[in-house]
Chain A
């Protein structure tokens, strides 16, 4: 579905066709879910964040400015939701060591690949602002300009934040012995 098709579906939703929204959910839920998972490092939280994001997207469809890509707009909401959710959560629960929720019913426990688990645990060692910029740049591939819109900060700040986030992540991975400048 192209950007133009997204905008057409938005118009259908605004005319009262709630079923049309399912096309947007199917198209973007995987990206939103994975972003939330990288930020929260928790499967159940990622599900909740994803659900909240789409509810907010739906509730605010009439405020969507079609000058911007719909995809970027969803990410703007997803980032705000992920960061706010995790800010609230840190006051109530300790940091999780791994991704699998031991309280979840067996059929709700999903296998996370070892590589993803290493990456997510390393990301959880960063501040939320650093996590956000790394996820959006490295996993989604947004440009500096798009990051500026999504994170609502000037492009210059995007660059300095991305650079310092990379240095922080490099140090975390270095401490885990995963990066080494002596390695060939």
Chain B
């Protein structure tokens, strides 16, 4: 095959041939069957790509994007800057006030150190609600609901945080007697590692789990908290949550999801 023909074929596909090049291209193609075959295949490939139609992104995408932006990223700074404010206030602070202020700072420092030393031993009580608790009262013997929880953070820092954070799914079960019930939680859209399961009544039921579902068996009124780490990068969690109690005594179930602050 002539060394120039490959470039001419690609330029022709891109519609970039000059009149002079076009004449040379047609001459070379007519004389070289191998080049003609290559041109035909590449043209067919280009035609197939040209038939592709753009897909429409889901309607919620732009809302998710806007919710992910840090609102104060380009906030206009007020004219009354910190330095000018400080100068203004320092002018009226006397020595007695300074003494009181530094004493207060010392107390705050002690409190902060105490907080830091206790932060290493976090438990479920240290988690904050990320997305408002999903509350549903129910008097039926079986409830089932699909809950999709989009989690919005502020900017890239928030996303990085989500990838590192531990989360907790919980449920409060209230029965009007000490009857048995079963909770099934199906995880969709995320992969996860279960870190721990806490039952606040102290009565740990039988727990079974596979890659997508977690089944808990409990007795009587109590509260469960399942702490897990998401290991995928998806920022949505979808839970198919069901509670079954054969004795028609389920008074209330409150599923919630919380994440480490």
Chain A residues whose CB sits within 8 angstroms of the CB of B189 once the complex forms? 44, 103-105
Alpha-carbon distance between A81 and B70 when the two chains are bound, in angstroms: 19
Chain B residues whose CB sits within 8 angstroms of the CB of A29 once the complex forms? 57, 61-62, 65
Question: Is A181's CB under 8 angstroms from B74's CB?
Answer: no
Bits for B32-54, please: 1 = Cβ < 8 Å to A, else 0: 00001110111011101111111
Alpha-carbon distance between A176 and B10 when the two chains are bound, in angstroms: 22
Chain B residues whose CB sits within 8 angstroms of the CB of A183 once the complex forms? 40, 44
Alpha-carbon distance between A2 and B93 when the two chains are bound, in angstroms: 56
Contacts between the two chains (Cβ within 8 Å), count: 142
Q: If the complex has contacts A33-B57, A163-B6, are A21 and B45 also in contact, measured as CB distance less than 8 A?
A: no
Alpha-carbon distance between A47 and B148 when the two chains are bound, in angstroms: 16
Question: Is B45's CB under 8 angstroms from A18's CB?
Answer: no
Chain A residues whose CB sits within 8 angstroms of the CB of B44 once the complex forms? 173, 178-180, 183
Alpha-carbon distance between A159 and B16 when the two chains are bound, in angstroms: 13
Q: CB within 8 A of B46: which of A37, A58, A59, A138?
A: A138
Nearest-CB distance from A140 to chain B (Å)?
Answer: 10
Question: Is A166's CB under 8 angstroms from B74's CB?
Answer: no
A-side interface mostly? helix
Given A29-B62, A166-B46, 11 extra CB contacts under 8 A: A18-B66, A18-B69, A21-B69, A44-B234, A58-B73, A59-B156, A116-B52, A119-B51, A139-B49, A163-B10, A166-B45
Chain A residues in the interface with B (C-beta under 8 A): 13-16, 18, 21-22, 25-26, 29-31, 33-34, 37, 44, 46-48, 50-52, 54-56, 58-59, 61-62, 103-105, 108, 110, 112-113, 115-116, 118-119, 134, 137-139, 159, 162-163, 166-167, 169-170, 173-174, 178-181, 183
Chain B residues in the interface with A (C-beta under 8 A): 6-7, 10, 13-14, 36-38, 40-42, 44-46, 48-58, 61-62, 64-66, 68-71, 73-76, 146, 148, 155-156, 159, 188-189, 233-235, 238
15 contacts between A and B (CB under 8 A): A16-B75, A18-B66, A18-B73, A21-B69, A55-B156, A59-B155, A62-B74, A103-B188, A105-B148, A105-B238, A115-B53, A116-B53, A137-B14, A166-B13, A179-B44
